[in-house]
Amino acid sequence: MSDDSNVDRAKYDFKKAMQEIVDLRGRGTELISVYVPSNRQISDVQAYLRNEYSQSSNIKSKSTKKNVMGAIESIMSRLKTYRTVPENGLVLFCGEIPTSGDQTRMVQYVLEPPESISTFLYRCDSTFYTEPLLDMIVDKKSYGLIVLDRSEASIGILTGKKIITLKNFDSLVPRKHRQGGQSAQRFERLIEIAAHEYFKKIGDSATEAFLDKTELLGILIGGPGATKDFFVKEGYLHHELQKKVVDTFDTGYTDEYGLKELVETAKDAITDMDLTREKDLIQKLLAEIRKADGGLAAYGEDEVRHMTEMGAVDTMLLSEGLRLSRLSLKCSNGHVTKVTQKSHVEATPACKECGSSTDLMEKMDIVDELFELAATMSSKVELISDDSEEGELLLRAFGGIAALLRFRVG
Ligand code: ZN
């Protein structure tokens, strides 16, 4: 599996867990949320929780007291399995959720968030405290950034709202006032050679920074004056990167601040690209389907599954609105079969082979399962949100599962 789809998959799992957690309500003020940043010692957190535990013995309501203390205990024992806090920190949610009558069940979630947590937080409330995590589930699109003029250049990357500076360098192009003794012509020539080397170096750095990042949606280029346009026009970028250039934008600076300026100036272009991306994928799918021979497209679970197994799928398009599970079943006659059914359905269907009742061997979210299938055939997977008209179409008309193909299978 490529790193990209691992990241997508982790994000999807996180997103799904978040959707569950947001809806949970406790009976009283008894749901515990703990946020642990990576620089915090586990032993500090345990000490903090021990103190909260003894404080909660003062809670008046008997059941609330019992539930709060139970949740803290559960979190403390879970924390014991960690020697250090993971890179992005750790978030723990624990508490009793009412089921039926006066019954409750304990839920516990331990999440390693996709982005780092900066502050320690302990909260006891009737809901879990999820606000700091909600922003993290927004899909983060990435763009390459280059700002340059003849004296300085910076290369960076925009991921979500974060700008990361990757490289900054000054040029060695001499200034245009000549030292005594050199002929004007020779000096001009030296300047042009130095400038050419400098632009080449920017191009090479861009290749190094961007070429293997297939998730980059585009490259934005900024700087004062005409140098940036010259750089693009003269082909100093690798041809694969050249294709991703969105446009050039005027900025006053060419340092770290220039990268910020570039993102600010290109804001509208970026929003448009994000919006059109999913739209384009679905439009491409529709265009293929409309072709007389069915084109390079497949849709519906069975067909997409089959095409993937044949190695024919280039990109799988999966709706984020899919609520299906893939079940592995075993019947009393020993038949092992797989079926897909709605995730909320608890009962297992009868055996496809003989009709007798079945036992559940494994239940997997279908998106997870298709991610794995796609990975075995090096197919890409794109999760399509169901917010847009196109996303809704994918879900309604194609059951939320479609694919763009590498080749047609006869
Ligand atoms: Zn059977």
* Coarse DSSP helix, strand, coil percentages of the chain, rounded to the nearest 5 percent: 40, 25, 35
CB 158 within 8 A of CB 145: yes
Ligand 1 geometric centre to CA of 106 (Å): 36
Separation CA 171–CA 177 (nearest Å): 16
What's the pLDDT score for residue 21? Answer: 86
| CA 342 to centroid of ligand 1, rounded, Å | 21
Predicted confidence (pLDDT) per residue in 305-333, tens digit: 999 999 999 999 999 889 899 999 999 99
The CA 353 to ligand 1 mean position distance, Å, reads 5
Could you say which of 3.30.420.60, 3.40.50.970, 3.40.50.1100, 3.40.50.1820 is the CATH number of the domain covering 142-176+191-272?
3.30.420.60
Q: How far is the CA of 359 from the centre of ligand 1 (A)?
A: 10
Rounded Cα distance between 299 and 316, Å, is 9
CA of 345 to the centre of ligand 1 (A): 20
Q: d(Cα 74, Cα 107) in Å, to the nearest integer?
A: 10
Report the top-level CATH class of 279-405: alpha beta
Separation of 351 CA from ligand 1 center, angstroms? 5
| pTM, full prediction | 0.48
**pLDDT, tens digit, 9 for 90 and up, residues 216-232:** 889 999 999 999 999 99
**In the CATH hierarchy, which top-level class contains the domain 17-136?**
alpha beta
Q: For residue 400, how far is its CA from the centre of ligand 1 (angstroms)? A: 29
Q: How many CB atoms lie within 10 A of CB 146?
A: 32
Residues, CB-to-ion distance under 5 Å, ligand 1: 331, 333, 335, 351, 353-354
The ranges assigned to domains in the chain are: 17-136, 142-176+191-272, 279-405
pLDDT at residue number 180: 60
Among residues 77, 49, 69, 64, the alpha carbon closest in space to that of 104 is found at 64
Q: What integer pLDDT is reported at residue 373 of this predicted model?
A: 86
Question: In this structure, which amino acid lies at residue 338?
Answer: K
Residue 172: half-sphere exposure toward Cβ, Cα within 13 Å: 8
**Which regions in the chain score pLDDT beneath 70?**
1-12, 134-141, 160-161, 175-182, 274-275, 410
Distance 64 CA to ligand 1 centre (A): 48
